[in-house]
Structure 1
Amino acid sequence: MAHTKRYAHLLTPLRYFPQSAGIILTLMVSGVMVLAPPALGQELSVHEGTILLRIARDTLSEYLNRQTTPKLSSYEVTERLSQKRGVFVTLKDRHTAELRGCIGYTEGYKTLAEAVIDCTVYAATRDIRFRPLRAGEEKEVVIEISVLSPLQPVSTIEQIRVGVHGLVLTNGLKTGVLLPQVPLEQHWSRDEFLRALCRKADLPDRAWEHGGQLFAFTAQIFSERH
């Protein structure tokens, strides 16, 4: 019941992207890698993505070395960066590209700028899958920021597009999230993507057919260069 109430405002049909929409495109602009999905209606500019990356990079350095975080008044926080949206911060090893931490919000609990500070700290120090980063190790990771669209309920798995949609699966207190870029990096089919999502949530295969709730989202992704 709690989950139904929480997602009540999302009960609109999942947007279907036609074949011509293609998968995520990779662009390189001013040293920032931008993975751009089909139009979201609230897209950030490359400049705004660069600001978020700068906030995340400064946060990582300040927190690991001085246990402080930067003041947002030092940055150009635009109107879009002041919106409350879901966002994830991913840290990858600069040399191997292996995951080093990934934490985020699927919904807009804080402004994008504020949430990026939180998620950067948490990805570096509170992802229980990895040893926390130590002072000086901020130079050894690359930062990737995924800005999420609102979650949309999935009515049929045929709507899911690998490389376009990220997924959230919930059942009771169990939740699994996989970002749109993950199945591309792992070379998964849609079925493999869904099975991995169920494992991430610690739920059986096809859990959405047995009381689970399945949601999709797109993401605008900004990454530092490796």
Structure 2
Amino acid sequence: AKQMKRLEFSGKLPKGVKGFHRTTMGQKMTMEDQIIELKMAAKQMKRQAQKCTKQEKAEQIKVKKAIEAGDKERAKIHAENSIRNKNNGLNFLRLSSRMDSIVQRLQTANSIKNMSKSMVSTTKIMQSALASMNAEKISNTMDTFEKQFEELDIQSAVMEDSVKQANANTIKEDQVENLMKQVADEHNLQMEFDMVEAPENKLQVEQKQQVKKNEEKSLEDRLNALQDP
């Protein structure tokens, strides 16, 4: 009998996911190089996640065939492989998402670094303008300084915000659940798991209370009408 092969997750990247080493001979890798490598790695993680999804579905088909053949042991093996592929696929997607987040932060940090270099250059120009006491040159240099400070403030705010998002769970659970419900409704799907209902707002509660009062009053009026001779 043909031996069934179980999928094993060793914690290492599976075959097909390669590392990236773009450093040239004797040259130190720049931040731009690191950003490019992370982008490429994130894309490859996404591709690997897609492969896992395909393998997951393929294993489910094998489960169906094994059950039809009455082979319980083989069905269990394929079921385990399907679940393992699903979990690995989710892990690759999470890694890809984290890499994308790091790329954004590195790009912002790199922009600030480049901005700092340009400010050093502007400072030298200012020194030259002050030495010559050229009013027009000094005014133009001050305009450049102010523009650079505005851009630096914007980039610093963006970087600070990205750090906060990375360190805190900014995506709320109810947002995720609402999106899942929305997708399910759009495709007329019935979700087979419990969802935490979003808390009703004050207006919704008041409306329900009013409807209940109206129903009770209507019932009371009908009872009174029956009691009248």
TM-score normalised to structure 2 length: 0.20
Higher-Rg structure is: 2
**Larger relative contact order, structure 1 or 2 (CA cutoff 8 Å, min sep 6):** 1
Of Structure 1 and Structure 2, the greater helix share is in 2
TM-score normalised to structure 1 length: 0.20
